[in-house]
Structure 1
Amino acid sequence: MRAEELSRSVQDYLKTIWLAQEWSPEAVTTTGLAQRLGLSPSTVSEAVKKLAAQGLVHRPDSGAIDLTDQGREVAVQMVRRHRVLEAFLTARLGYAWDEVHDEAEVLEHAVSEKFIARVDALLGHPERDPHGDPIPRRDGTVPPAPAVLLADVPPGTTAVVARVSDADPDQLRRLGEAGIRPGTELVLGEHLSRAVSVTVGGAVVEVGVLAAEAVWVRPRP
């Protein structure tokens, strides 16, 4: 199924469900989905019923919301569009990494698969967007992105930043100013009550608890 055959609202629901499952092993619920979309649970509940009727999601007895194969196909198309556009905006148009999310949210609904394919080729088929998130390939496969939360890494560990959540632009900007970006090597220090201490480029930086939950790292090769 092609994403452009569906409404913007349906595209957003499917992409949001996929992203929720990408970032967390927890089941996607109506309440959680409503929080992510900024809608009321009753509105989301009605929308999920319609998505189920279209064969795009299903809800097992547990009440969790899962994508069907068709739903996942559309969701991955939308994630691919979004991340290719973010890569293009930063690489070719000079956008900062904390500016691209909202622009891509608008553009992803207006462009075609042909356009995205050409932008992808122009950029040399990048595997990651500016935040380190894997860009789904044209065939729907997603490059592996093994990583763990910064907040869960023990002191003394040397790690490399793999991904940074772009959910909060202000937080993203602060992390960037501290030098915490994909590819940055850092050494974990003490876990404080409200922050995690890390050494970046020889400087000690305190990363707040919420920010530490937005940074994913992998062991140094």
Structure 2
Amino acid sequence: MPVSDLSHAAQDYLKLIWNATEWSSTPITVSVMAERLGVRPSTASDGIKKLAKQGLVTHAPYGSIELTAEGREHAVAMVRRHRLLETFLVQVLGYGWDEVHDEAEILEHAVSDFLIARIDDHLGHPTRDPHGDPIPSADGKPHLPQGILLSDAGPESEVVITRISDDDPEMLRYFTELGLAPDVRLTVRERRPYTDVTTIRRQGSDHDADLGPVAAAAIWVVAG
């Protein structure tokens, strides 16, 4: 069954399950899915039961939800659509990186596989989206980069940003003001554990910036 034959709700559920475990080893539960989708737990539970009957997920009662091989294939296809669309909107149509998530959420259900392939060709087969999230290849192979949370980097570390979470558009606008984006080099100047503040300095800047715990946990870095 091609992913386009699934309902929009099923596509959203599968993509959410994949996204939730892409950067975390903690399996997702029905209650967490309901919260992220903005639906009642009973609605999320019914959706998972339908996916289980289709052989796309496994779910133990009151336990975690896991993708089957077929479910994973469909989920990765949806992730690929979403991230290619985000990249197209930024690079070709001039959207800001804080504007593309909701647009891609709508478009990903409407585009054909043929159009996605043409977008991929036009963009030169990008390997990551504007936020640094890896774009799976056409054969469904994900490319998870190495990295740690900025909040886990030690004092005086020289690091390079590899990914910034796109969950909060307002935070993305704040990061833009600070000049923070994928490939930007930073020095972790100080960690203040009792106030949970991370002080950074962007390469080329002569000013420090203090990031709170939510902001520091939204940025992934590698040693630079």
TM norm. shorter chain > 0.5: yes
Equivalent residue, structure 2, for 1:142:
142
Q: Deviations over 1:173-203 (max 9, x none)?
A: 1012101100000011222314211001322
* Number of residue pairs the alignment of both structures matches: 220
Give, in angstroms, the shift of residue 63 of structure 1.
1.2
Distance 2:176 2:55 in 1: 41
Matched, 1:174 2:170: no
Equivalent residue, structure 2, for 1:189:
189
Q: Pick which of 141-150 and 188-197 moved more.
A: 188-197
Q: Deviations over 1:2-43 (max 9, x none)?
A: 110101000000000000010211111111111111112111
Q: Secondary structure at the match of 1:138?
A: coil
Equivalent residue, structure 1, for 2:47:
47
Q: Pick which of 207-216 and 9-18 moved more.
A: 207-216
Equivalent residue, structure 2, for 1:209:
213
Letter in 2 for 1:187: T
Letter in 2 for 1:57: V
- Correspondence 1:83-122 to 2 at 5 A: 83-122=83-122
- Correspondence 1:3-152 to 2 at 5 A: 3-60=3-60, 63-152=63-152
Distance change >3 Å, CA 163–CA 4, structure 1 → 2 = same
Distance 2:109 2:212 in 1: 34
- Calculate the TM-score normalised by the size of structure 1: 0.96
Letter in 2 for 1:215: I
Q: Pick which of 84-93 and 32-41 moved more.
A: 32-41
Distance 2:62 2:27 in 1: 9
Distance 1:4 1:205 in 2: 45
Give, in angstroms, the shift of residue 46 of structure 1.
1.4
Equivalent residue, structure 1, for 2:201:
199
- Calculate the TM-score normalised by the size of structure 2: 0.95
Distance 2:223 2:90 in 1: 26
Letter in 2 for 1:4: S
Q: Percent identity between the aligned chains?
A: 50
Instruction: List, as ranges, runs of 4+ consecutive aligned residues in structure 1 with deviation greater than 4 Å.
Output: none
Distance 1:187 1:179 in 2: 14
Letter in 2 for 1:181: A
Q: Secondary structure at the match of 2:208?
A: strand
Q: What runs of 5+ residues in structure 1 fail to find an aligned partner?
A: none
Letter in 2 for 1:125: H
Q: Deviations over 1:140-159 (max 9, x none)?
A: 00123111111111111000
Q: What runs of 5+ residues in structure 2 fail to find an aligned partner?
A: none
